[in-house]
Every structure is written in C-alpha cells, then in structure tokens.
Amino acid sequence: MSKRKALDISLGQEYVDSKERVQFLKDNCDAVEDLGYMKRFSPEAITSMKNQLASTSIEINDIEVEKKEAMTAYKVQLKPLMEGKKSLLKNIKQKAEFVTEICYKFVDQEAMLTGYYNADGDLVSSRPLAPEEMQKTIFQIQKTGTNN
C-alpha cells in the first residue's frame, strides 16, 4: 500500500512577481479550468469591511431615528384626520348624528302621544303618553289653535 503525499499549501511563492508566478503555474499544471471556490479575505480586507460595517450601521441608526421622528410628526398630523374620518363614516352609516339641543314637547291627548319638535319644527321623537301626562291641565283643555 502506497502512502499518499499531502498537497503543498502553496506553489510558486518563490516568484514575487504575480505574472511570473502565473506563468510557472501554467507551465507546470496538468490542466487549466474555471473553478468556483471560497477565497479567503486578507486580515486587512476584513478590518476594512468591519470599519465599513460600523459606518453603515451608524448611518442606518441615524436614518431610523429620523424615520421615527418623522413618523411621530405624521402621526400627530394624521390623528385629527383619522378621528374626523371615523366620525364621517359613522354619520354616513347611521345617516344621522346624535345632538343635544332645545326641543319643544307637545302632548296630544286624543292620539295619546307625546311629541318633541326641534327649532326647525321637525318631529325628532315621539312616545306614548306617560301616566302623569294623561291628566289634562286647564291650559291643555283651552288650546284651540287660535288666540281668543
């Protein structure tokens, strides 16, 4: 059984000029082929990339801070608009809005109903008479709609 000789870690290092080293390798190899592989970075290249990463990270952080501040400003601007939108959607959906205003109560003894009218004279609410409203007062008996 023959022992295999280990491959040298490097070849042609005695040639300082890279063109001479490439010529030596071409002259002494069995074949020239394209091959994909992971080429190690030099310590200087790694240090340079680390410095570039630090600079990039700082720049990203600065942009993120600016973005957060801008988003806060936009949020302040959007808040009243969103509340207005919510109110408009509710009003459109309900086709009305809840208001509190002075209304005028009219008791109709014949129809046994009480009606509430707004300042425009529109009936806004009606209900059956309450027990205390069923007794006529002297003013309700005399009402005829004319000023006699």
Angle, alpha carbons 139-140-142 (nearest 5°): 70
Residue among 81, 124, 91 at smallest CA distance from 105: 124
Residue 12, sorted as left (phi over 0), alpha (psi -120 to 50) or beta, turns out to be left
Q: Are the C-beta atoms of residues 12 and 21 closer than 8 Å to each other? A: yes
Give 137's DSSP letter: P
Residue 53 is inside which H or E element, if any?
Answer: helix 43-94
Residue 30, classed as helix, strand or coil, is coil
pLDDT at 91: 87
pLDDT at 136: 66
CA-to-CA distance for 79 and 61, rounded, in angstroms?
27
Q: What is the DSSP string of 62-130?
A: HHHHHHHHHHHHHHHHHHHHHHHHHHHHHHHHHTS-------EEEEETTTTEEEEE-TT--EEEEEEPP
pLDDT at 85: 95
Q: What is the pLDDT along the chain (148 residues), one digit of tens a residue?
A: 556 677 888 888 899 999 999 999 999 888 989 888 888 999 999 999 999 999 999 999 999 999 999 999 999 999 999 999 998 998 899 888 788 999 999 988 888 899 999 998 989 999 998 888 877 665 555 555 555 4
Residue 31, classed as helix, strand or coil, is coil
pLDDT at 147: 53
